[in-house]
Amino acid sequence: MIVVTGGAGFIGSHVVKSLNNISQTDILVVDDLTDGHKFVNMAPFQIRDYLDKQDFIERIKNNIPFDQEITNIFHLGACSSTTEWDGQMMMRNNYEYSKILLHYAMARKIPFIYASSAAVYGANTNFGVDPINEKPLNVYGYSKLLFDNYVRRLLPTAQSQIVGLRYFNVYGPHEQHKGSMASVAFHLYHQAQRDGMIKLFGAYGGYGDGEQRRDFVWVEDVATINLWFKQHPEHSGIFNVGTGQSEPFNAIAKVILTELPETKLHYIPVPEHLRGCYQSFTEADIATLRDIGCTHEFTDVTQGTLQYVHWLQEQG
């Protein structure tokens, strides 16, 4: 049985979809459906069972057996809000929960693939996986870095696979529940539909209007990388997951303006609450991913945004 925590969420639901695509349905989805709207992300896919995240961790802590042996854990559940400053809640959800699950997996030699984040790099301009580059700007990024460092200390003696994947700016279907944390493409499309106008940040951080750059990565590519590591259990470590090529926000706006030609583009100042803790540039260094033989070709942001806009239009 494969466990996917956060399986009703954005990336988690795509991992479940990718597992179904290779005929694997023996999946236990773990999530928190307090926001019941997330059920739509799970509805199309075949799973063995669902368990609330609190019930799941209680079973893990108390060594209550499951009815099937766990063969893999994809740990994608977390609080992903970069603007959340409740550090106690963040550490409980992103750090302590992850440690408990990691030790459970290690004790049973269960391959453990978990979600880290490019937020660990903060305002840095070098995105190689190296402690010298890790300077988070918010407590979310710090919670992810703290767990990465915890994993680093255990990796030398680990007898089973442990993989941390530092996701860059992921976009695509099934993120509608993320609110303000949904992707730029999601927000710009809905602004265009609602207001006939899309808004981008104006000049900031040494970049011109709408020219702040991010490594935008298509969510299906992210799911593919997760499955690649499942199929290559000999590889452990912490890896960046991005295209390796930054693009300006204007590139996404251009696709939407082409698809919805009546839309206007407007630049606004960066809000005060984001100044000083906003990443104006990200670009994944994927050398370590390539070094272990992962040759997956990532989707270009223009192609990915076009696919996403068409999907959103189909959803009405």
Q: Residue 57's domain is classified under what CATH number?
A: 3.40.50.720
Q: Are residues 138 and 181 in the same domain?
A: no
Is the pTM higher than 0.75? yes
32-66 per-position pLDDT tens digit: 988 888 899 989 999 999 999 999 999 999 999 99
Q: Are residues 275 and 227 in the same domain?
A: no
Same domain, 17 and 152: yes
Question: Residue 114 catalytic?
Answer: no
CA distance 239 to 38: 28
Q: Are residues 277 and 228 in the same domain?
A: no
Catalytic residue among 53, 99, 135, 178: 178
Q: Containing domain of residue 287, as a range?
A: 2-170+218-242+283-299
How many domains in the chain? 2
Domain co-membership, 187 together with 100: no
pLDDT at 296: 97
Spans in the chain with pLDDT lower than 50: none
**Same-domain status, 103 and 206:** no
Same domain, 182 and 290: no
Q: What is the pLDDT of residue 85?
A: 53
Q: Which listed residue (121, 140, 142, 308) is catalytic?
A: 140
**Is residue 144 domain-shared with residue 38, that is, in the same domain?**
yes
Condensed to tens digits (0 to 9), the pLDDT of residues 206-264 reads: 999 999 999 999 999 999 999 999 999 999 999 999 999 999 999 999 999 999 999 99
Question: 252 and 204: one domain?
Answer: yes
Same domain, 62 and 189: no
- The answer on 151 and 110 residing in a single domain is yes
Catalytic residue check, 53: no
Whether 23 and 55 map to the same domain: the answer is yes
pLDDT score recorded for residue 276: 76
